[in-house]
Structure 1
Amino acid sequence: MINQLTQDAILLLKKLIETQSFSSEENQTATLLESWFQQYKIDYKRIKNNVWAVNKYFDDDKPTLLLNSHHDTVKPNSAYTKDPFKAIVEDGKLFGLGSNDAGGCLVSLIATFTYFYNQKDLKYNLVIVASAEEESSGPNGLNSMLPIIPKVDVAIVGEPTLMNLAIAEKGLVVFDAVLTGTPSHAAHPNDDNVIYKAIDTLQWFKDFKFEKNSEALGDVKLTVSQISAGKQHNAVPADLNLVIDVRVNDAYTNAEIAEILQKEAPVTRITPRSLRLNSSSIPVDHDLVKAGIAMGRTTYGSPTLSDQAVLSCPSLKLGPGDSTRSHSADEFIYLNEIEEGIKIYVELLHRVIV
């Protein structure tokens, strides 16, 4: 059965690649996913562009394990040399937009869910959500499904990890900051030029360190990622705008990060866009982690954000593919990574839920 599921999963991935699914535009790929569940006679539901199902013998008295990955993509960058919407196989690689992030993970998890769907007496219920709007952290993605699906006790989130165990993931807070000065004509002296003041401010952000370190996730990473000021060559502007990207370890909540920067940062004001994308983790002694380690998989902390950020339960990030290929030109995944991924997912769940 695994061989047939693997072949069908790869075929589904090829169809997904060749169907545009930018965030909030996933209608057609959601329809493709529906066809899988129809083919395997799985009772499923669709809400907007999210497709989900529970195992056949769902039992309210058992804990529930969520399997989740997304079918939306970013837009292809200008460096592509291959058609991003054509599934091309060369030298064991399947090229195409979304192949690695996170199509390979998604179809592998769907195949795994299908493998266990009809089995009785599982220790955990299974629920799968093929979600939308992950890349944009949009309002109609996994976050919108949590009040609808059964209560989740633990989750596996499919993102490319080379099938190693990402037992923690950094959260994200994006800040908008404003630095003010004195506007003037460029021809006149000005000791309060906001652009010159920004030199010391940028150095402060470059040097600033949050005190708490995390064993799994290391330090909080703060990066000034955008700067803008002025509209005319002959006018010194009154203010300068900064965007600060902060990747938060599990030693802080996002609200604590905001409180620290609002107190310490040498700017006129600094405002978080959202505080909801917190860090996430799973205890190293959880059965899923112990089973993965027993299978020879390594553990690490992930610096990249995923739908784990909207979950309040313990969650493990695990999937075929390599995160460094995500959002890259000529994105690809190895076909044998998908084959291996399905086998590892199935064995992992065998050890925990059967």
Structure 2
Amino acid sequence: MEQKLQLNTVDTLYIEVLELLKALIKTQSFSREEDKTAEIIGNFLADKGVKYKREQNNIWAKNLYFDESKPTILFNSHHDTVKPNQSYINDPFDAFEKDGKLFGLGSNDAGGALVSLIATFLYFYNRQDLKYNIILSATAEEEISGQNGVASILHHFGELDFAIVGEPTEMQLAIAEKGLLVLDCTAKGTPSHAAHPNDDNAILNAIDDIQWVRNYEFPKISPWLGKVKMTTTVINAGQLHNVVPDSCQFTIDCRVTDQYSNKEVYEIIQAHLKSEVKPRSLRLNSSSISEEHPVVKAGLALGRTCYGSPTSSDQAVIPFPSLKLGPGLSTRSHSADEFIYLDEIKEGIELYIKILEQIIYYI
């Protein structure tokens, strides 16, 4: 087994994980339907001589010389995808190469990062001179922030020092990430015939609250993530033209910075709105890692730059320091005819290894 793994150069690993990525693209893996891609990933690791564990549609493995006395790094990325949108021209499940690109659903988000982390894990797998353990996890339900993703298996891993979360960041260092808070609101009013006076119109009451959402600015501003952003995204009321409804429902999408917890933002909004406000969840908080953390300093030394990410990921449910880092471009995610450049995957593997080599060895 060791002899086989010692042949894992960057070039050979790149070729092997590229084929793995193509197999994943060709296999439907919408959130909660990732059973077949979990099997593919597990079989790939087994073929490389790596023992792995599976719980629901989550796969994880530890480095060969895992030592309980050492601190542990988690490599995590997801293998679920969103459903393809209506603007696709290509077959979303046809993993084909053209003009230096690999096309297909999940190629960029987050297949490229996932297979690059798998390659990096294999590169270090049988080294005995590491001062860190490594756990690799390929997880489910990231796209829906589901309960059966990475959060459901963290208790198996023991104490973790930090994580690298594989998402498309162009291999720049996303050291902070906005949290997500979705609020369902109900404005109440007095139902009546539209022909009669009514100063308690539920729709107009909702508009007053929506106007507050539009204009309010949270005072604390994050150096990396800027301001908390609130957006009204859904509204629904009434059925007949001549009836004033007794309620109006609307939804607020809140992108929360590291200056507030989701609970704090919810309580501020609740205090200002007349409408009833119900959070769908308070668990997807903002996350960040210090600029002084060794993994961040290692990336900076290699010419990488730090930034704050407006999009959410599995970082939101990982309760210890984590860095979002991976090949690909975030704006390609969920787009029609999704793709990743082949060179981005190769560079991703190389940079993951170079960053980790600065902190992972005893020598």
Residue from 83, 90, 112 that aligns with 1:104: 112
Q: Aligned residue for 1:315? A: 322
- 1:140-196 Cα offsets, whole Å, 9 max, x none, are 100101111232110000000000000011111111111111111223222222223
Which stretches of structure 1, 4 residues or more, deviate above 4 A after TM superposition? none
Q: Which amino acid aligns with 2:353?
A: V
Counterpart position of 1:340 = 347
After TM superposition, give the deviation of residue 66 of structure 1 in Å. 0.3
What letter matches 1:274 in structure 2? S
1:74 to 82, 89, 94: 82
Cα distance in 1 between the residues matched to 2:156 and 2:245: 49
TM-score (norm 1): 0.98
2:236 counterpart letter in structure 1:
S
2:254 to 246, 251, 267: 246
2:65 paired residue number: 57
Deviation sequence 1:86-112 (CA, Å, 0-9, x none): 102111111100000000000000000
The answer to whether residue 288 in structure 2 is matched with residue 281 in structure 1 is yes
Partners of 1:108 and 1:150 lie apart in 2 by 24
Q: Match for 1:180 among 164, 178, 188? A: 188
Q: What 5-or-longer segments of structure 1 have no aligned partner?
A: none
Q: What is the aligned partner in structure 2 of residue 14 from structure 1?
A: 22
Q: How far did 1:220 drift? A: 0.5
Percent identity, aligned pairs only?
59
Work out the CA distance in 2 between the residues paired with 1:308 and 1:269: 30
Q: What TM-score do you get using the length of structure 2 for normalisation?
A: 0.96
Q: Name the counterpart of 1:331.
A: 338
Q: Which runs of 5+ in 2 are unaligned?
A: 1-8
- Are the counterparts in 1 of residues 206 and 275 from structure 2 also a CA contact under 8 Å? no
Q: What's the offset of the Cα at 1:236?
A: 1.1
Contact 2:192/2:245 (CA < 8 Å) preserved in 1? yes
Q: How far apart are the structure 1 equivalents of 2:207 and 2:187?
A: 11
Q: Which residue of 113, 116, 122 corresponds with 1:114?
A: 122
CA distance in 1, matches of 2:113, 2:254: 27
What CA RMSD, in Å, does the superposition of the two structures yield over aligned residues?
0.9
Alignment of 1:79-228 (within 5 A): 79-228=87-236
CA distance in structure 1 between the aligned counterparts of 2:168 and 2:191, rounded to whole angstroms: 49
2:118 partner SS: helix
* Structure 2 residue identity aligned to 1:138: G
The Cα of 1:201 is off from its aligned counterpart by 2.2
- Shift of residue 233, structure 1, vs aligned partner: 2.3
Q: Which amino acid aligns with 2:303?
A: G
Code of the residue aligned with 1:294 in structure 2: it is: A
Provide the secondary structure at the position in 2 that maps to 1:278. coil
For residue 327 of structure 1, give the secondary structure of its aligned residue in structure 2.
coil
Q: Secondary structure at the match of 1:147?
A: helix
